[in-house]
Chains A and B, each alone.
Chain A
């Protein structure tokens, strides 16, 4: 259809403080609670949201980074951790146990979950949100951080431009001779440093010209705290409270060594899992709600 537009993520527009609390909750709980059911829920929620946020690009991240890390963790743990009562076979006279394999798989799942949540965090937390969050605590520090973070991509971009200009002028940097390559690289670096010094002076001048450092000026952020933020924040707070209580009363307890033990799947446990899943799926639910609303509105026109 001609009017097919890219769907906007609804959670990306909630107040950054609420979003930050959500991410902190998701990450801390994923790291602390090693229960396979809970990690599975968290991984599922993070995956679904990442696919909604990044579309096809999420596949690349998963295949190139998350999956290798998970496989490596799952393989390495039984090789170095030999605890557990169920001995499967011996490797260099040390036992390979079922428990260490289970623990390896569980920690791989945990690691994958945390990385996926961080990928979501990166997609949602743009630089302006980070500055909004830290700006009130330490305005100059947050400015420096955001400028420093910007330097790496800026420098690589500029280095590429210089190299290309040098090539255009006849100094070929793609020579196979390693010494020529190094010499050419040094020339590029020298040009880059000159440019960096010059641009820092320009930046400082530009900032002064726009009145940076004048006393009554504050950073501007276009974030309000509206009723939707209150509703989402309330839901997240209730979820944190309930999940925290359940964790405190050892509803989610799991033991890997010396033998693998899970609690019985009591109704309380299932209810607590449902609450946990609901909280973590809030961004997905908001996204789907928005999509449905959009579709309904469009069909009326």
Chain B
């Protein structure tokens, strides 16, 4: 009864439209302002997004080695879809001597050398450990060969129990990246490391 008075009334429509139009204008103005800010700050931000690792200093050298031979011993667990990225001998990068900059971490060396050689490598930053975590190298990812599989590193034969971007490289260090299929036990890392 009372509802019918209001049900199809133009006043209702006009009242409904007034607020959204003001809101729409505000949103447009905000978007325009954001666009301008982006244009000014964008150039530097974008170039840093696409940045490649800085070139290395020739005075410092270390050794880098990447292997996943343990997969060859655990072929039953290995993801069959990834067979064509698995190297026959399990070695992704033979021992090479590479240069690095003062203060570079193990992660910096890995990023520079894999991207320079076109070897696929994915890492993400883990805030809890304040370090990069290597998810996959050469498209061989963690968990591709059982639940306990993933990438781990050792320097001069010692497995550090912290992330690779917290380990500063010294001259003559031997950095080895191993793919473990058993939480590190099979490659000689201490359990829980």
Contacts and interface: CB of A to CB of B under 8 A. Distances in A.
Nearest to A99: B139
Interface string B19-39: 100000000000000000000
Contact of B139 (A83, A164, A255): A83
Contacts of B120: 82-85, 87, 95, 97
B126 to A, nearest CB: 14
Contact of B50 (A82, A83, A90, A259): A90
A258 B120 CA distance: 10
Interface in A159-174: 160-161, 164-165, 167, 174
B49 A92 contact: yes
Given A83-B139, A84-B139, A174-B18, A90 B52 contact: yes
A164 B6 contact: yes
Interface residues of A, number: 23
Contact of A255 (B81, B85, B123): B81
Interface string A69-89: 000000000000011110101
Main secondary structure of the interface of B (DSSP, over half): helix
16 contacts: A83-B120, A83-B141, A84-B120, A85-B85, A87-B118, A91-B49, A93-B53, A95-B115, A95-B120, A161-B6, A164-B6, A164-B12, A174-B19, A258-B82, A258-B84, A258-B85
Contact of B81 (A82, A84, A85, A257): A257
Contacts of A259: 84-85
A90 B6 contact: no
A190 interface: no
Interface of B: 3, 6, 11-12, 15-16, 18-19, 49-50, 52-53, 81-82, 84-85, 111, 115, 118, 120-124, 136, 139, 141
A167 B139 contact: no
A94 B81 contact: no
